[in-house]
Amino acid sequence: MADLHQLENKMRMIKLSGMVETVSMRLDQAQKEGLAFSQFLEMLLEDEVQHRANKRLATRLIRARFEEEKNLEGFDFNFNPKLPAAYIRELATCQFIERKESVILCGPVGVGKDPPVPGSGAVSLPGRLQWSFYENQSSFV
Protein backbone atom coordinates (compact mmCIF):
# COMPACT_ATOMS: atom_id res chain seq x y z
CA MET A 1 0.00 0.00 0.00
CA ALA A 2 1.18 3.50 -0.76
CA ASP A 3 2.71 5.56 1.97
CA LEU A 4 0.28 8.09 3.53
CA HIS A 5 2.63 10.94 2.60
CA GLN A 6 2.53 9.86 -1.07
CA LEU A 7 -1.26 9.67 -0.99
CA GLU A 8 -1.49 13.17 0.47
CA ASN A 9 0.89 14.53 -2.18
CA LYS A 10 -1.19 12.99 -4.96
CA MET A 11 -4.35 14.42 -3.40
CA ARG A 12 -2.73 17.85 -3.35
CA MET A 13 -1.69 17.48 -7.00
CA ILE A 14 -5.30 16.95 -8.04
CA LYS A 15 -6.54 19.62 -5.62
CA LEU A 16 -8.30 17.44 -3.06
CA SER A 17 -7.25 19.49 -0.04
CA GLY A 18 -10.35 18.52 1.94
CA MET A 19 -9.32 14.89 1.71
CA VAL A 20 -5.73 15.73 2.63
CA GLU A 21 -6.96 17.23 5.91
CA THR A 22 -8.95 14.13 6.91
CA VAL A 23 -7.41 11.08 5.22
CA SER A 24 -5.32 10.05 8.24
CA MET A 25 -8.27 10.33 10.61
CA ARG A 26 -10.54 8.47 8.16
CA LEU A 27 -8.01 5.65 7.71
CA ASP A 28 -7.85 5.19 11.48
CA GLN A 29 -11.64 5.28 11.70
CA ALA A 30 -12.02 2.73 8.90
CA GLN A 31 -9.60 0.37 10.60
CA LYS A 32 -11.17 0.72 14.06
CA GLU A 33 -14.74 0.34 12.80
CA GLY A 34 -13.96 -2.27 10.12
CA LEU A 35 -15.54 -0.16 7.40
CA ALA A 36 -15.88 -1.40 3.85
CA PHE A 37 -13.76 0.40 1.27
CA SER A 38 -16.87 1.98 -0.25
CA GLN A 39 -17.88 3.40 3.15
CA PHE A 40 -14.37 4.78 3.69
CA LEU A 41 -14.33 6.33 0.23
CA GLU A 42 -17.79 7.84 0.72
CA MET A 43 -16.70 9.51 3.97
CA LEU A 44 -13.54 10.82 2.34
CA LEU A 45 -15.50 12.21 -0.61
CA GLU A 46 -18.02 13.81 1.76
CA ASP A 47 -15.12 15.50 3.57
CA GLU A 48 -13.97 16.97 0.26
CA VAL A 49 -17.48 18.12 -0.68
CA GLN A 50 -17.94 19.78 2.72
CA HIS A 51 -14.49 21.41 2.54
CA ARG A 52 -15.31 22.92 -0.85
CA ALA A 53 -18.73 24.14 0.29
CA ASN A 54 -17.16 25.81 3.35
CA LYS A 55 -14.48 27.40 1.17
CA ARG A 56 -17.10 28.75 -1.28
CA LEU A 57 -19.15 30.19 1.57
CA ALA A 58 -16.11 31.86 3.14
CA THR A 59 -15.18 33.41 -0.21
CA ARG A 60 -18.71 34.68 -0.77
CA LEU A 61 -18.85 36.21 2.71
CA ILE A 62 -15.60 38.06 2.01
CA ARG A 63 -16.89 39.31 -1.36
CA ALA A 64 -20.15 40.47 0.21
CA ARG A 65 -18.09 42.79 2.43
CA PHE A 66 -20.10 42.28 5.61
CA GLU A 67 -18.26 44.20 8.31
CA GLU A 68 -18.96 41.58 10.94
CA GLU A 69 -20.90 38.37 11.24
CA LYS A 70 -24.44 39.07 12.40
CA ASN A 71 -27.55 36.95 12.41
CA LEU A 72 -31.09 37.12 13.67
CA GLU A 73 -30.64 34.38 16.27
CA GLY A 74 -29.11 36.71 18.81
CA PHE A 75 -30.90 39.87 17.71
CA ASP A 76 -32.91 41.58 20.45
CA PHE A 77 -36.15 42.67 18.84
CA ASN A 78 -37.20 44.24 22.17
CA PHE A 79 -34.41 46.79 21.67
CA ASN A 80 -36.74 48.68 19.33
CA PRO A 81 -40.39 47.71 19.77
CA LYS A 82 -41.31 49.60 16.57
CA LEU A 83 -39.14 47.24 14.51
CA PRO A 84 -41.47 44.83 12.67
CA ALA A 85 -39.97 41.52 13.83
CA ALA A 86 -42.24 39.34 11.67
CA TYR A 87 -41.33 41.36 8.57
CA ILE A 88 -37.60 41.18 9.33
CA ARG A 89 -37.82 37.39 9.80
CA GLU A 90 -39.68 37.12 6.50
CA LEU A 91 -36.93 39.15 4.80
CA ALA A 92 -34.37 36.71 6.19
CA THR A 93 -35.99 33.90 4.18
CA CYS A 94 -34.88 35.79 1.02
CA GLN A 95 -38.17 35.05 -0.72
CA PHE A 96 -38.21 38.64 -1.95
CA ILE A 97 -35.36 37.64 -4.26
CA GLU A 98 -37.42 34.90 -5.87
CA ARG A 99 -40.22 37.46 -6.35
CA LYS A 100 -37.62 39.79 -7.94
CA GLU A 101 -38.27 42.53 -5.39
CA SER A 102 -35.75 45.00 -4.02
CA VAL A 103 -35.36 45.91 -0.37
CA ILE A 104 -33.88 49.11 1.00
CA LEU A 105 -33.63 49.55 4.76
CA CYS A 106 -33.38 53.16 5.83
CA GLY A 107 -33.85 55.09 9.03
CA PRO A 108 -31.98 56.94 11.74
CA VAL A 109 -28.85 55.61 13.37
CA GLY A 110 -29.36 53.00 16.08
CA VAL A 111 -32.79 51.63 15.18
CA GLY A 112 -31.61 48.15 14.16
CA LYS A 113 -31.22 48.16 10.37
CA ASP A 114 -27.87 46.38 10.14
CA PRO A 115 -28.43 42.89 11.64
CA PRO A 116 -31.11 41.75 9.15
CA VAL A 117 -28.90 42.42 6.15
CA PRO A 118 -25.86 40.24 6.89
CA GLY A 119 -28.20 37.68 8.45
CA SER A 120 -30.15 37.42 5.21
CA GLY A 121 -26.97 37.40 3.18
CA ALA A 122 -25.46 34.56 5.17
CA VAL A 123 -28.65 32.52 4.69
CA SER A 124 -28.67 33.02 0.93
CA LEU A 125 -24.94 32.81 0.25
CA PRO A 126 -24.71 29.02 0.31
CA GLY A 127 -26.84 29.14 -2.83
CA ARG A 128 -25.87 30.92 -6.02
CA LEU A 129 -26.78 34.44 -4.89
CA GLN A 130 -24.25 37.22 -4.57
CA TRP A 131 -24.57 39.95 -1.95
CA SER A 132 -22.95 43.28 -1.35
CA PHE A 133 -23.41 45.30 1.80
CA TYR A 134 -22.77 49.05 1.79
CA GLU A 135 -23.23 51.62 4.50
CA ASN A 136 -23.85 55.23 3.58
CA GLN A 137 -22.64 57.73 6.13
CA SER A 138 -23.83 60.76 4.19
CA SER A 139 -27.30 62.14 3.66
CA PHE A 140 -29.07 62.14 0.33
CA VAL A 141 -30.27 65.52 -0.84
Mean pLDDT of 107-127: 57
Write down the pTM of the prediction.
0.55
Is the model's pLDDT at 117 over the cut of 60? Answer: no
For the domain 67-141, what is the CATH superfamily, name and number?
P-loop containing nucleotide triphosphate hydrolases (3.40.50.300)
Ordered by start, the domain boundaries in the chain are 4-64, 67-141
What is the SS3 assignment for 73-120?
CCCCHHHCCCCCHHHHHHHHCCHHHHCCCCCCCCCCCCCCCCCHHHHH
79-99 per-residue burial string, b: 16 or more CB within 10 A, e: under 16: eeeebeeeebeebbebeeeee
Mean pLDDT of 48-64: 85
Is the model's pLDDT at 15 over the cut of 90? Answer: yes
